[in-house]
Structure 1
């Protein structure tokens, strides 16, 4: 995929898509400690075919946004809350938490490095940031990884839901997460289970799903 050029963007019609921006942040946990993180231009990750994340889904992620202000400055929306949830998700998924202060600073580094891709004030767009962590050990039996890769990428996006026009929704019998399971954390397995009912809803021209708690209340 070619690197995104800022001059090719239509700020008012961004959609909610991935675009390969110049910089992202990466850090690795190995030998019992987090290595020093850094910005990189390489959007490719290299994993063993037996990497834990590929078979047993040891992965967590977050999503937050940076907004251009009227005076041209850039604000992040409560990154400390995302850092805290990321820490809680890591503990639940038996992963080494990435320090909250370093998490927030890494987010800021990615925004600064890709500043020209923060949509202009008044366009309705924002710079979406996706921090995530995966277990990378080559593992055959079910077990937690001892090594992890933390990364943050960014992409300019429009509104996730367009406008305030009333839209139909579907009540479904599918559950996304089990009672006393992982529904309270942001891990990939929760979302993989929602793909089938989401596709079925779209076939019926339903715009989305509301997910209730595991007791359906």
Structure 2
């Protein structure tokens, strides 16, 4: 680490911390400029920007990890880059190429290297790439200009006292619409989830489970994360739907379950009435990797999976393997790790 930063690594949460430099690139006249690192963390945009009025914006989330040897590595940034391309296409924003996306992330990590937490802390450097529509435009149409930016913040380990299962209830609200933007990582999906989350939290749950919007019979997502279950005959199962966000973590776990743990894997419908088929369940995403699900309340009854207090053995092995790959302790599949040099 080249500079000393006054950070209590052991007590980091998931809060905004202004780091030294962030990357910014502007799209104008049909092309992106080269982009640059800047100190200013404030954006000045037109009051008529489409990002403010019509939700023409998207974002990604990924992490940089410091290994035991002191190297810094990104985990599957190409997957985030491709997902951002898909989102940009869906809401008519110019695509950011995979090369530009990864280069921007590497530049930001290198420029803020002293903010990458030490290996032994379990903390990481969280990267937030985003694209917003800007420029003076009040009509309901794509923006005349765009900004692509990446900033970073050091964040603490999600489970400070070790992984603990949490409970969820079923939301009567929909997270996405059939043929809507559920598979795109746009801010509107998250804005719409704030109220259902608050209702679940007031009842003592960690968050809520969203069912498919068409029939309300199938599990789609768990809060802002993807669902998975381990069946009693040891299969890794995760829901399949065109309105689920394609989680980088979920597809990594599918690969790990199949190739590392030698399990059968299935992407298929997961009916809420069939919770009994699972001996373990979890929610997965960038922030926590895996959040073990203790139980799901459905029809006023709490269905408990493995335990409300103990993490199931398969969930624990999946977590340890994936987290080990991310931190450089377990050999990664080819192409999963990009070293920041």
Query: Scaled by the length of structure 2, what TM-score is found?
Result: 0.60
Q: Structure 2: 5+ residue runs without aligned partners?
A: 219-341
- State which of 65, 86, 89 in structure 1 corresponds to 2:87: 89
Tell me which residue corresponds to 2:51.
53
Counterpart contact for 2:25–2:33, Cα < 8 Å:
yes
SS class of match (1:200): helix
1:211 Cα offset (Å): 3.7
Q: Which moved more, 1:153-162 or 1:57-66?
A: 153-162
Which residue of 59, 75, 79 corresponds with 2:73? 75
**Which sits farther off after the overlay, 195-204 or 35-44?**
195-204
Aligned to 2:15: 17
Q: CA deviation at 1:80?
A: 0.6
- Using the TM superposition, name which of 96-105 and 159-168 deviates more: 159-168
Whether the aligned pair in 1 keeps the contact of 2:50 and 2:134 (CA below 8 Å) is yes
Out of 116, 119, 130, the residue aligned to residue 128 of structure 2 is: 130
Q: What per-residue deviation string (whole Å, max 9, x for no partner) do you get for residues 155-212 of structure 1? A: 0012345532221212110111111100001001111000111122222332223344
**Distance change >3 Å, CA 210–CA 10, structure 1 → 2:** farther
Alpha-carbon distance change, 171 to 145 in structure 1, aligned in 2, over 3 angstroms: same
Q: Structure 1 6/185 Cα, relative in aligned 2: closer, same or farther at 3 Å?
A: farther
Work out the CA distance in 2 between the residues paired with 1:27 and 1:139.
20
Deviating above 6 A after TM superposition, structure 1's stretches of 4 or more consecutive aligned residues are none
Superposed CA offset, 1:122-169 (max 9, x none): 211100000000000322221111210000000001234553222121
Q: What residue number does 2:247 align with? A: none
1:102-117 equivalent positions in 2, closer than 5 A: 102-117=100-115
Partners of 1:57 and 1:169 in 2: how far apart?
A: 29
Q: Which has the higher contact order (CA 8 A, sep 6+)?
A: 1
In the aligned structure 1, how far is the partner of 2:4 from the partner of 2:11?
13
The Cα shift of 1:84 comes to 0.5
Q: How many residues align?
A: 213
Cα distance in 1 for partners of 2:30, 2:200 equals 45
Matches within 5 A, 1:56-205: 56-160=54-158, 163-205=162-204
Q: 2:113, 2:10 → 1: CA distance?
A: 17
Q: Is the 8 A contact 2:5 2:115 kept in 1?
A: no
Counterpart in 1 of 2:30?
Answer: 32
**Aligned residue in 2 for 1:207:** 206
Q: Deviations over 1:64-83 (max 9, x none)?
A: 00000000000101001111
Radius of gyration: which is bigger? 2
Higher strand share: 2
Give deviations 1:9-46, integer Å, cap 9, x for gaps. Answer: 11122111111100100000001111110000010000
CA distance in 2, matches of 1:188, 1:69: 32
The farther-off stretch of 91-100 and 200-209 is 200-209
Alignment RMSD (CA, Å): 1.6
My pick for the range that moved more, 204-213 or 12-21, is: 204-213
CA contact (8 A) 2:24 2:38 kept: yes
